[in-house]
Amino acid sequence: MKNLRSKTLAAASAVSLGVGLAVTGGLAPAASAAGPDTTFLVLAPQGATTGKAAARVTAAEGTVVATYEQIGVLVVRSANPDFATDVAGAGVESVASTAGLGTALQEGETLEVSAAQVANAAADPTAEPLFGQQWDMSMIDVPRAHAVNAGRADVVVGVLDSGISSSHPDLASQIAKDKSASCLGGVTDTAEAAWNPTTSDHGTHVAGTIAAAVNGVGVTGVAPGVKVAAVKVVNDDGYIFPEAAVCGFLWAAEHGMQLTNNSYYIDPWELNCRNDARQRPVWQAVQRAIRYSQSKGVLHVASAGNSNYDLAHKITDDGSPNNGTPETRENLTNACLDLPAEVPGVVTVAAVGPTGAKSYYSSYGQGVIDVTAPGGDTRFRTQGVRSTLTDGILSTTFNPATKTNGWGYKQGTSMSGPHATGVAALALSAHPGMKPGQLASFLERTSVAQSCPEGVYNPVPLIPTGPHAYDATCSGGARNGFYGAGLVNAYHAVR
């Protein structure tokens, strides 16, 4: 898998987050030649209300579909081909069309555990039937942690992803349905069908790693005592648009979530450059949404990405956009960021395999990676079939074609992120009251430091694109570019 992305323009019920939906009215302006119906983010000046911006939207032949007054952001639809120019003026700081900014969620393949394997699973009778195949849980000391604290139900983790199967036997009791919603199109829909998965099991897999129940069925999550909320931001085509992510962060902030897991990146370019006129409004809107949610007590955990990219030395990006033909952008600077992983205050998570070494695909970077966690590392193939199946992460799955639940393996920093999120949920359960910054610091302090490997890291690759496709160099000491502060540890977090 390359990096983690998504796409969207789905319609949902017109409800904004806690402030009422602003729908403009009055006399229609003179109509211009209609173009395609397009979504825009319109930003009022920082700290200002959205009233003037909304009036300009109406005058520019646009319709406000969602108002995020808390951060001065409007989600707008318009068929006016000159909307971005016409809406500019007093009360509008910036505007951007999100057409073409859908980010593909590259989730890779799911290798499912068969019904026979589930039936014949041999594990400690006091544990879950498939626990013996969850090498990741033992690696981060989950069994010892559960003996102390398995999580509290008043800790709610928002899973911003493709939805969670509410019928899965390992998750049905774990979902905070009253806090779940779809954010497709930048507006919310709380109907259960809206936030269930339809074409992807990515969110179901992530949710199982965080909180699959200890119920004698399937697997266990890192924090089975906590609740997860489905916040659907990935549409049926497998894309996440910026307006959906902004909606998700605000939804989490206004609905009592203490943590969110974000196994994706925003913007089809791996790096969002603040000095790029089209990308800057996306950066501004996302940053405002994250800052606001942090002020409401939410800590965001994000995956570092699967491009084996040194995020501390951004020079060239030649694999983006991931929703079309890649272009080469050179002479980049640190004004270009991976969103949301590099937003200040977000915990950025890299991935390791069963040996504890950096996963071949995991992005890295000194001063960027905060912690690492199990993400899987199944590099070897024989005639296109993985020969190291159990080196992936086993969790809950949902088959969109058959509408059936199950268990299966995936790998990626999408899988390492929820391990760190689960440990943070355990920490908050054992030590309630920590603010986001305190919790992030605590997660780092309780991690187990991992040393850099000697020389250039060059694993046996999985279908390499060149002779040195996965070469990477680690820099730093106890805190370094591959592992950050270290491997998260559940037992240290609760004891």
Whether omega before 321 lies within 30 degrees of 0, making that bond cis, reads yes
Identify the DSSP state of 85.
H
Beta bridge partners, 404, equal 399
With H, G, I as helix, E, B as strand and everything else as coil, classify residue 378.
Answer: coil
Structure-derived torsion over alpha carbons of residues 251, 252, 253, 254, reported in degrees to the nearest 10: 50
Pairing of strands 94-97, 111-112: unpaired
Q: How far apart are CA 134 and CA 137, in angstroms?
A: 6
- The stretch 66-72 carries a mean pLDDT of 97
At residue 410, does pLDDT exceed 80? yes
Structure-derived torsion over alpha carbons of residues 234, 240, 245, 246, reported in degrees to the nearest 10: -130
pLDDT digits (tens, 9 = 90+) for 368-404: 999 999 999 887 544 444 445 678 999 999 999 999 9
Least confident of 86-90, 127-131, 165-169, 381-385: 381-385
Q: Are 241 and 39 in contact (CB under 8 A)?
A: yes
Residue position matching structure tokens 């393949």: 109
At residue 210, does pLDDT exceed 50? yes
Q: Which residues contact 186 (CB under 8 A, 6 or more apart)?
A: 39, 65, 66, 75, 241, 243, 244, 246, 247
Q: How many CB atoms lie within 10 A of CB 142?
A: 26
Position 104 scores a pLDDT of: 60
Identify the DSSP state of 406.
E
Q: Are 409 and 111 in contact (CB under 8 A)?
A: yes
Q: Are 459 and 360 in contact (CB under 8 A)?
A: yes
Position 273 scores a pLDDT of: 80
With H, G, I as helix, E, B as strand and everything else as coil, classify residue 385.
Answer: strand
Q: How far apart are CA 231 and CA 220, in angstroms?
A: 21
Q: Please, which pLDDT band fits residue 12 given cuts at 50, 70 and 90?
A: very low
Pairing of strands 456-457, 472-473: antiparallel
Position 54 scores a pLDDT of: 98
Q: Which residues contact 429 (CB under 8 A, 6 or more apart)?
A: 149, 150, 151, 152, 155, 223, 225, 226, 494
Least confident of 54-68, 87-101, 158-172, 283-297: 87-101
Q: Please, which pLDDT band fits residue 33 given cuts at 50, 70 and 90?
A: low
Does the model's pTM come out above 0.85?
yes
Whether omega before 344 lies within 30 degrees of 0, making that bond cis, reads no
Q: Please, which pLDDT band fits residue 5 given cuts at 50, 70 and 90?
A: very low
Q: Distance between alpha carbon 26 and the CA centroid of its chain, in Å?
A: 39
Q: Distance between alpha carbon 393 and the CA centroid of its chain, in Å?
A: 17
With H, G, I as helix, E, B as strand and everything else as coil, classify residue 139.
Answer: helix
Structure-derived torsion over alpha carbons of residues 46, 52, 57, 63, reported in degrees to the nearest 10: 90
Q: How many residues does the chain have?
A: 495
Q: How far apart are CA 390 and CA 129, in angstroms?
A: 15
Position 179 scores a pLDDT of: 98
Please provide the average confidence, as pLDDT, over all residues in the chain: 86
At residue 328, does pLDDT exceed 80? no
At residue 70, does pLDDT exceed 90? yes
Q: Are 169 and 218 in contact (CB under 8 A)?
A: yes
